[in-house]
Amino acid sequence: MNVLVAHASKHGATKGIAERIAAQLRAEGHKAAARPVEAVGDLDGYDAFVIGKTVTKYEPAEPKGVSAIRRALRPRDHRVFAGAWDRSRLNRSKLGMAERIVAKRLPEGDWRDWSAIDAWAVGIARALRAPQTMTG
């Protein structure tokens, strides 16, 4: 299957997760590409989609608006993964005043659980290979 792993990543943590998921899908025999949402363009040719939204807290929490998206799209599965925060990679010119204040106080670290991300991606790959049944 050809899978698009689309992501929105303000500071790069979600992009890293998307790239890892795409790599796992390729390792499992699927064609997969990680792309920023704004660069996706035409969706023809893709058989499945993994969509990653950025989260503004360092605690894993469902981003605002995701529950409405879940109701509209009815995805097979949904996960929220913690991200990472590295001040050295921060472009301060893109931050507003409130974001600059938060950036100074937010603890640095990488909270991404790579083994959980890998396991989820492998689960997606296997589900895409399994015969699908229609539900009503």
Establish if 136 belongs to a structural domain.
no
So what's the pLDDT on residue 10?
76
- Tell me the three state secondary structure of residue 52: strand
In a domain, 125, yes or no: yes
Lowest mean pLDDT among 2-6, 85-89, 121-125: 85-89
**Tens of pLDDT along 65-115?**
667 766 777 777 878 888 887 877 777 777 788 878 877 887 888 989 999
CATH number of 36's domain: 3.40.50
Alpha-carbon gap, residue 112 to 21, rounded angstroms = 12
The pLDDT of residue 75: 75
Measured between its terminal Cα atoms, the distance across the chain in Å is 24
Q: Name the 3-class secondary structure at 13.
A: helix
Domain total of the chain: 1
Domain of 23, in residue numbers: 2-129
Strand order in the sheet with 2-7: 31-36, 2-7, 48-52
Question: Per-residue pLDDT tens for 9-46?
Answer: 877 888 999 999 999 999 999 999 999 988 888 889 99
Tokens of 101: 């204040």
Residue bearing tokens 């959980």 = 116
The reply to whether 135 falls in a domain is no
Residue 134: inside a domain: no
